[in-house]
Amino acid sequence: MIEVKPDFNFSDLNTKTIDGKRYYVTPEGNKFISITTLLGHFKQKSIAQWRKRVGEKEANRITAESSSNGTRMHSGLELYLDGKDHKEYVKTQEEQNQFDCIKNHLDSYLEETWYQEVPLYSNQLGVAGRVDLIGLYDGAPAIIDFKTSRKWKKKEWIEDYFMQATFYSMAFFELTGYPIKDIAILISVNKGQDFQVFHEKVGNWMKPLHSKIKEYKEIFS
């Protein structure tokens, strides 16, 4: 079967911060919680423990550095895949190493770029978010997410990544009627010194995602 890009025009969504939480405003005027905010709620305890362990000053430094680093990498990759100049976001050798590890993988496995940085939402789930990349990857349509990490990851540490990507697949299907069954999480580790790829199936993570959404809504209802 030859896969063809689904033809769909996505509406951009405004965002609002309410009580420190990020929401997307849908075309119908609904305010839906961000998937990253929702899943991040369940990591607050471990983050607080980490901040206590390393100290507030060091935690703030690492958090700011990681956020800036991740943003720059995402922006550079988006421009690269659009065939535009990305050098503004890749200035140091460390940044080049980080960029190249994911770029080289995409050059080998990404056959078609379908959508980048499009906002997705689900009326059924009451959740929204912005996906990094949807495309034809290793022979199949896939949700592709870029991540940065200071350390090597174990699969059991990143279940929220799989649930986040699963949400994007479910929202994409709800909006377009086009099913995407594959997930690829691409992680640049230690500023490009290492690289990890996690392949998953959407079907394996739908039940855990539904449970998280239900739990979150029960807490904040």
Q: Which domains does the chain have, with CATH numbers?
A: 14-220 (3.90.320)
Distance CA 96, CA 188 (A): 11
pLDDT at 1: 58
Cα angle, residue 163 at apex, residues 96 and 64 outer, rounded to 5°:
40
Dump pLDDT digits (tens) for 128-157: 999 999 999 999 999 999 998 888 999 999
The rounded distance, in Å, linking the Cα atoms of 4 and 105 is 22
- Global confidence as pTM: 0.93
Region for 60 from its dihedrals, namely left if φ exceeds 0, alpha if ψ lies in -120 to 50, beta otherwise:
alpha
Q: Check residue 2 and give its pLDDT.
A: 64
Q: Which of 7, 30, 33, 5 is nearest to 141 (CA)?
A: 5
Which one has a higher pLDDT value, 104 or 150? 104
Alpha helices in the chain (DSSP H): 35-41, 44-54, 56-81, 93-109, 159-176, 206-220
CA angle 203, 176, 83 (to 5 degrees): 95
User: Residue 87 corresponds to which amino acid?
Assistant: K
For residue 184, the cross-strand partners are: 144, 199
102 close to 146: Cβ distance less than 8 angstroms: yes
Q: What percent of the chain has pLDDT over 90?
A: 69
Is 166:205 a contact under the CB 8 Å cutoff? Answer: yes
For residue 199, give both structure tokens: 């392949």
Query: Which helix (H) or strand (E) covers residue 55, if one does?
Result: none
The residue behind tokens 């050098």 is: 87
Q: Is 45 helix (H, G, I), strand (E, B) or coil?
A: helix
Strands 31-34 and 21-25: antiparallel
Q: Average pLDDT of 21-42?
A: 96
Q: Please, what is the average pLDDT of the chain? A: 92
How much is the pLDDT for 32?
98
Mean pLDDT score, 39-51: 90
Give yes or no for a contact between 147 and 161, defined as CB atoms under 8 angstroms apart.
yes
